[in-house]
Amino acid sequence: MRFDIVTLFPAIFEGYMTQGLLGKAIQRELVQIHQHDLRDWAPQTTHKPVDDKPFGGGPGMLIQVEPTVNCVEAVEKKADQSARRILLTPQGKRFDQRMAEDFATSGRLMLLCGRYEGFDQRVTDILEPEEVSIGDFVLNGGEVAAMVIVDAVVRLLPGVLGDENSSIDDSFSRGNRLLEFPQYTRPREFRGHAVPDVLTSGDHKAIAAWREQQSLQRTKQRRSDLLRDE
Ligand code: SAM
């Protein structure tokens, strides 16, 4: 799968792309990430401006329409393929596991990261991206939001996880859309806290039933809204 990230701060992604599952997925060529510096599409003055004051007044600056549209169109033309365009904004549709699953089938995503007060409205009017938010709070820029989306999508791609089943049991996932059951590893006892007997019983049917019941109970206690969905 290919991700194109349009940003004013491409260096933010560098360390992140070499680490953990994502680093391995890139090494194994399951995932490609290309960052595109918006300033490369700015008017070629000494300053290379990409932002300006909002018409009508108000605080802050906006990212301009011209470099953004030119950048997206040039990147798509070079790849000879249009991408599914995602514009990161706190005003967008809330990102969740279902959306991650949908994105994971897309083949190619273009993520547009805003800064300052965001993008000129005409970026949305012309490029018609899907507008996506990672939650009801305001970040300084879209780069962290882009990383959240890349991270959640990459773990759903075939071959990325050692065991394909681990993403099925994950909280919110297509296995049951509930929270995952509690998990334990060695030692069997620590400061009087023992691992539940059923997990060391070797009885796989009983373990599966216990996990299902725990998953349901945890979801009822912490996120009853998930039981009302669907
Ligand atoms: N003035 C904008 C508003 O009130 O909607 C917020 C701009 S924010 C300071 C700058 C950029 O950070 C946005 O253009 C967007 O790309 C990104 N951003 C901030 N919060 C976000 C969120 N919750 N989800 C996705 N992107 C976000």
* Residue of minimum CA distance from atom 23 in ligand 1: 90
Half-sphere exposure of 202 (CA within 13 A, CB side): 0
Do 138 and 197 share a structural domain?
A: no
Is residue 117 annotated as a catalytic residue, yes or no?
yes
Q: Is ligand 1 within 6 A of the CB of residue 148?
A: no
Kindly give the distance from the C-alpha atom of residue 46 to the centroid of ligand 1, in angstroms, as a whole number. Answer: 28
Verify whether ligand 1 is closer than 6 Å to residue 20 (CB atom). no
Question: What distances in angstroms separate CA 211 from CA 77, 160, 185, 198, 204, one per listed residue?
Answer: 49, 25, 15, 10, 10
Residue 63 in contact with ligand 1 by CB distance below 6 A: no
Together in a domain, 6 and 48: yes
Verify that 180 and 223 share a domain, yes or no: yes
Domain count, the chain: 2
Are 195 and 84 within one domain? no
CATH number of the domain enclosing 188: 1.10.1270.20
Q: What is the CATH number of the domain that holds 62?
A: 3.40.1280.10
- Residue 160 domain-assigned (yes or no): no
At residue 4, φ and ψ (nearest 5 deg) are: -110, 125
Does 118 share its domain with 41?
yes
d(CA 129, CA 85): 5
84-110 pLDDT per residue, tens: 999 999 999 999 999 999 999 999 999
Whose alpha carbon is nearest atom 19 of ligand 1?
139
56 lies in the same domain as 140? yes
206 lies in the same domain as 148: no
pLDDT on residue 229:
67
Please indicate, yes or no, if residue 169 is contained in any of the structural domains: no
* Whether residue 187 has a cis bond before it, omega within 30° of 0: yes
Three-state SS at 96: coil
Please say if 90 is a catalytic residue.
Answer: yes
Cβ(5)–Cβ(113) below 8 Å: yes
Please check whether residue 113 lies inside any domain of the structure: yes
Q: Which of 155, 211, 218, 223 is catalytic?
A: 155
**Residue found by looking up tokens 């007060």 in the block:** 117
Q: Are 79 and 130 members of one domain?
A: yes
Are 140 and 31 found together in one domain? yes
Q: What local confidence, expressed as pLDDT, does residue 176 receive?
A: 82
Q: Is the CB of 91 under 6 A from ligand 1?
A: yes
* Last residue in a domain, options 154, 188, 211: 154
Ligand 1 touching residue 134 (CB < 6 A)? yes
Asked whether 129 lines ligand 1 (CB < 6 A), one says no
Q: What residues are designated binding site? A: 114, 134-139
Atom of ligand 1 nearest to the CA of 113: 16
| Catalytic status, residue 170 | yes
Task: Give this prediction's pTM.
Answer: 0.95
Residue whose Cα lies nearest atom 7 of ligand 1: it is 117
Examine the domain organization and report whether 13 and 55 are in the same domain: yes
Supply the range of the domain harboring residue 194. 176-228
Whether residue 76 lies in the annotated active site:
no
Residues of the chain with pLDDT under 70: 229-230
Q: Are residues 214 and 121 in the same domain?
A: no
